Structure 1
Amino acid sequence: MRSAGFTLIELVITMVVLAILALGITSYIGLGARMYSDAAEREQVLGQSRFVAERMVRELRNAVPNSVVFSSTSNCLQFRPILYSGIYTNAPFEQNGTSMTVISPDLRAVSPRTYAAASRPQLTVYPTSAANPGGTVQLNSISTLDSATARFTLNFDSFRFTRQSPEQRFYIADAIVQYCLVGASSGRFNITRNSVLMAEGLRESQVFRVTDAVLTRNSVVNIFLQFGYGGNADMFFNYEVHIPNVP
C-alpha cells in the first residue's frame, strides 16, 4: 500500500501561493500603516495651524488701533494688545496734567491699582499709525471715582495729549507682541511669539501682509500659512483679519 504525501511540484506550488499571500497581506498592512501615519501627520498639521492661527486672529482683533506693523527686515508682525479701553471725559490737551477722568466698565475689576515702574502699561489717545501712536504716556495708577457709574481716574506723570479722539476714546495697552518668521533646517520656517515657538514646518516665507486703514475701512492683516506635509504635499491656510477697533 502506497503512503499519501506531497510531490515536489505540489510543495513548490504551495510555497509560491503562500509567498504571494504573505506579500499581499504585508502590502495591505503596510498600506494601512502608511494611511494611518499620513492621517496622523495631517491631523497634527491641522491642529498646529489651527492653534497658531486662532491665537493670532484673537490677539490681532484685540490690538490697539493702528498699532499693527510688519517689518520686512526682521520678518516680524508686531502690535500692542488692549488691556482696557473706554471714553475719557476730562484729559489734559491744552496744558500738562497728571490725570484723566474716564468711563470704563472694564476698570471695575482692577481699580484701585498702582503699577510698578517696570510693568507700567501705556495710555494712548488717538493713535493714527504705528509710527505716529498719538499721545502716549505710561500709566502710574488707577483710582475709583464712582464704581456704580464706572467713572475712574487714570494717573500719570506730567503730560499733555496732542490730539483729541473724535469719539473721545482712550486705550490702555499691554507690552508689544511680536510674531516672527525665523529660518529653520531644510529650508523650512518657524513662527515664534515673543521668541516662543508657536508653529514649525512652514515652506513659504511671505506669511504676513498688513494693509493700512483708510477712510472706508480699518486695517487688514493677511496671514498665509503653507505647511510642508508628507514631503510631497503642502497644506495651505489663508486668513484675513479685520482690526475692528477705532481710535
Structure 2
Amino acid sequence: MSGFTLVELVIVIVVMAILGGISVSFIKNSVLAYVNSEAYYELADRADISLRRMSRDIRNALPNSVWVSGGGDYVEFVPIKQGGRYQQDDFDAGSHTLRVLGATVNVDAGDQLVIYNLGITGADVYETANNNVRALNTGANVGSVTFAGNLFPLPSPGSRFYIVNGAVAYVCDVANRRLLMVSNIAIPSAHPANFNGANANVVVEDVTECSFTYTEGVMQHSSVVTAQLTLQKNGGVARLVNLINVVNSP
C-alpha cells in the first residue's frame, strides 16, 4: 500500500494555499463591490431627497428673492406663506388697508406683506431702507390686510400681494460634512445674510462637496438655480446636480 511522499504533501498544501488565496481575493472584491454599491445607492437616495426638498422650497420663493452668496456656499430666498390679489382702488387711494379679492387669508404673528418685489433698489425685500416689505396686523380669515409703515413704492400690475415670514437659506457646511437649512432669517437684512438668531436644521450629512449658482433670467421669465451636491461614505460616492427653475414674475 503506497502513500503520499512529503514532497507531494507539500505540493498539495502549496497548491491549496494558492487556490485559497485566489478565492479569498475574488470573494473580497465581490463583497467590497457589493458594499460600495449599497453605500452608493444609499447616498444617491439621500442626496436626491435633499435636492428634491430644496427644489420644492425654492420654487415657492417670492419672485426675485432668490440670492446666492458670492462663494456659492449658500442660497437664500423668501418662502411664500400665502398670496392673493388686492383691491387696486385701495392702493391708489393710499390706504394702509387693502381688501382681498377672493378667499380670505390668515395673518400670524411676524407675518409681513410684500407687493411687487423686483429685487432692485426701492423694491427689494432685503434692502435695509426703502424696501417693499411691511409688518401686518394679525387676524384669522380676514378679508383685508392692514399694514404698518410707509405706503408701498410701486403697485403690482396684476394687483398681487404675498404674505411672508422671514427668509430661508440652504447652507453648505462642508467643514462638518453637512447641508443645513437655516430658517427664521429676519428681513429686511443686507447680504451676506446674518444667521444670528436663526434656526439651523441638518438636511443631509456625509457632504464632501456642495455649491450653488444662480443664473438670472429676463423679467417675466425663469431664472435657474444650479445645486451641486456630493456625498461620500464607506467607499461610496454620489454626485448629483439639479437645475431649479425660479419664476420671477412678481
Band the TM-score falls in, shorter-chain normalisation: 0.7 to 0.9
CA deviation string 1:193-213 (max 9, x = no partner)? 1132223444546x1111234
Residues paired across the two proteins, number:
225
Q: Given that residues 142 and 155 in structure 1 are in contact (C-alpha distance below 8 angstroms), is that contact kept between their aligned partners in structure 2?
A: no
Q: Given that residues 183 and 190 in structure 1 are in contact (C-alpha distance below 8 angstroms), is that contact kept between their aligned partners in structure 2?
A: yes
Larger relative contact order (CA 8 Å, sep ≥ 6): 2
Q: What is residue 164 of structure 2 aligned with on the other side?
A: 173
Deviation, structure 1 residue 178: 0.9
Q: Does 1:28 align with 2:26?
A: yes
In the alignment, structure 1 segments of 5+ residues that lack a partner are 146-151
Instruction: Answer with 176-185 or 43-52: which moved more.
Output: 176-185
Q: Given that residues 82 and 173 in structure 1 are in contact (C-alpha distance below 8 angstroms), is that contact kept between their aligned partners in structure 2?
A: yes
Secondary structure, aligned partner of 1:86: strand
**Which of these residues, 178, 187, 206, is aligned with residue 190 of structure 1?**
178
Q: Given that residues 96 and 159 in structure 1 are in contact (C-alpha distance below 8 angstroms), is that contact kept between their aligned partners in structure 2?
A: no
- CA–CA distance in 1 between the matches of 2:141 and 2:203? 39
Q: Given that residues 70 and 78 in structure 1 are in contact (C-alpha distance below 8 angstroms), is that contact kept between their aligned partners in structure 2?
A: yes
**2:224 partner amino acid:** V
CA deviation string 1:37-66 (max 9, x = no partner)? 110221122022102211111111000000
> Which entry has the higher C-alpha Rg, 1 or 2?
1
Q: CA RMSD in A?
A: 2.8
For residues 105-144 of structure 1, what are the structure 2 equivalents within 5 Å?
105=103, 107=104, 113=106, 115-116=108-109, 120-129=110-119, 132-133=124-125, 135-144=132-141
Deviation, structure 1 residue 222: 1.6
Deviation, structure 1 residue 25: 2.1
Q: What is residue 199 of structure 1 aligned with on the other side?
A: 204
- CA–CA distance in 2 between the matches of 1:10 and 1:70? 74
Instruction: Answer with 134-143 or 43-52: which moved more.
Output: 134-143
In the alignment, structure 2 segments of 5+ residues that lack a partner are 126-130, 183-199
Q: Given that residues 52 and 199 in structure 1 are in contact (C-alpha distance below 8 angstroms), is that contact kept between their aligned partners in structure 2?
A: yes
Distance of aligned partners of 1:92 and 1:168 in 2 relative to their CA distance in 1, 3 Å threshold: closer
Deviation, structure 1 residue 139: 2.2
Deviation, structure 1 residue 84: 0.8
- TM-score, length-scaled by structure 1: 0.78
